[in-house]
Structures are given as structure tokens and as C-alpha cells.
Structure 1
Amino acid sequence: QQLQERSERQFHESNFLTQRLIYAKHQLEERLQEAAWVNQELRARINNELESNELLRMAISEGLQGMHAKADDLNRQIAEASQLQAMMVVELQAATDSQACLQSELQSERVATWKQSTDVVMAFAGRVGPADVEASVSPTNGISRSRRGFLPTLVD
């Protein structure tokens, strides 16, 4: 009888332990399933982040290429503007030199004309008397006519 009670008690304990084991297995399976879902979710998020990072890398690369192209274009425009400016400086220098030469020629012409005028006035004054000059003044146009030609004078 003791043996039977002991056997029954062991059977109940064994049965209880088996049920606890089954319950623990079931709990473990649920937790493993939950962990698998979390793992799968994390992998999906990681993949999404990797794809987003790749898209960002491509966008950055395209942006950099665009910036490099724009910089190259601006450098080209700067070089063209510099060449144009250099040509304009050369043209300006040539124009300045030409203007200086023309100014010098004009001054020479003025001096020559002044000398010629002075010579004509002196020659006229020496050859024509004051009475002849007064008689030849025309009241309409302010030009006096001497024996040698026209000489501009002021009309009173």
C-alpha cells in the first residue's frame, strides 16, 4: 500500500511536472514566435533604412554631380569673361593711345592754325591800312573784304 501510494504520488508529481513542462514549452514557443516576429519586423525596418540610405546616397551623388557641372559652367563663364575683359583692356589701351595721338595732332593743328592766323593778321595789318579795313566792312554779315580776300571781323 505504501508503495502504491508512493507510486500514485510519483505519478501525480510526474503528471504535474509533465503538464508544467508542456506549459513551459508552450510559453517558450509563444516567446520564440514573438521574437521571430520582432526579428522579422526589425529586419524589414533595417532593409527599409538601407534602401532609404541608398536613395539618399544616390541623391547626394546626383546633387554633387550637378554642383560640379554648375561649378564647371561658372568657371568657364569666368574664364570667358576674363578673356573678354583682357581683350577690352587691350582695346581700351589702344583707344587711349589713339586718343592721345589724336589729341597731340589736334594740339599741333591748333598751334599751326594759330601761327597761320597770326601770320595772316600780321601780314594783313602790315599791307592794308586802317582806312581800307574800315571801308571794306559789310554791315550784313560781319565779314570785311580786303584787297587780298576775306577776313572775319566783329560787326558793331
Structure 2
Amino acid sequence: MKKFTVLLLLFSATSAALAEPPSIRFNGFGSASVGMSKATVERALSQKLEQPPESHDIECEYFEATKGLSGVLFMFVQGKLVRIDVEKGKTQTETGIRIGDPMSKIKKAYPTRLTITAHQYIPAPQGKYVTVKSPDGKNAIRFEIDNGRVVAFYSGRFPEVEYVERCL
């Protein structure tokens, strides 16, 4: 019985270590998808979402997970998930791109449907937006670049994925 318990604990620890954290897709994050209600996203992520103190707008609201997803924010418009922001942490896209990666990695991972434009606040030539459209053109992943490196990224539907100041 003692050996079984030790093996069970070892297996559980190994399984937890091998579990992949959720990643960003063109239309969602992990099992949460664009178009879901807040309650459905909470069920999909198995955790509650709370509003940060600075996010109080009825038409466009931001929420953050209560545990384990530091730096990931969820934008809801009229009660539906429309965008997921990654502002810090180790969250990555489904192709493995994360904050701190070089812009060249984006170009290699997404060789087509890529648009590079000037950043609204980071001066050229250092500041750029790299927007990659989904194959159906309905969604995108947008990377913010400073000095050739990813400093933030977000995914979701148009036009929200191109908003510069969260809900604006």
C-alpha cells in the first residue's frame, strides 16, 4: 500500500509538471473562445474572472483570472469575449511566441498574412505592431514590438484586436 501511495504521488507530480499551460490562439486562449460569455469562459478556464479596479465600463469590460494567469486579461464587449491580452508572464501563442522573443521568430512562425505597422506610442523605428490574420480573416494575433522584441500581444476579433488603448 505504501509503494502504491508513493507511485501515485510521483505520477500526480509528473502529470502536473507535464501539463501545458493554456496558449493564445487566433480566436481564444486555452479552451476559452471568442464569442463566449463570461460565465462560459470561467467554466472553460476552471476559475473565476475579476475586474481590475480601473476597468469599469458597461460596453467594454476587462477581467483577469483569480489564479495562475498573471498578466493575461480578457476583454468582453456586450457580455461576449472579444480579445485576450498578454502583458507579462510566460503565456505564449500556440506557435510558442512569448514576451521577450525576437520579431524574427514571429516572421518565421507566421510567414503569411502578416502586416507590420508603426506603433502608436513607441517611436519608429523601434516601435511596431505585427498583426497576423487568421486564415479566415475574422481574427488576429497582434504583437507589440520594441527594439526588435515582443513586449505584449493580444488575440481576438476585428476591430477590437487593433484597439490601441484596450477598449479604445
- The TM-score normalised by the length of structure 2 is 0.19
- The TM-score normalised by the length of structure 1 is 0.20
Q: Which structure has the highest strand share of the two? A: 2
Q: Which structure has the highest helix share of the two? A: 1
Q: Select the structure of larger CA radius of gyration.
A: 1
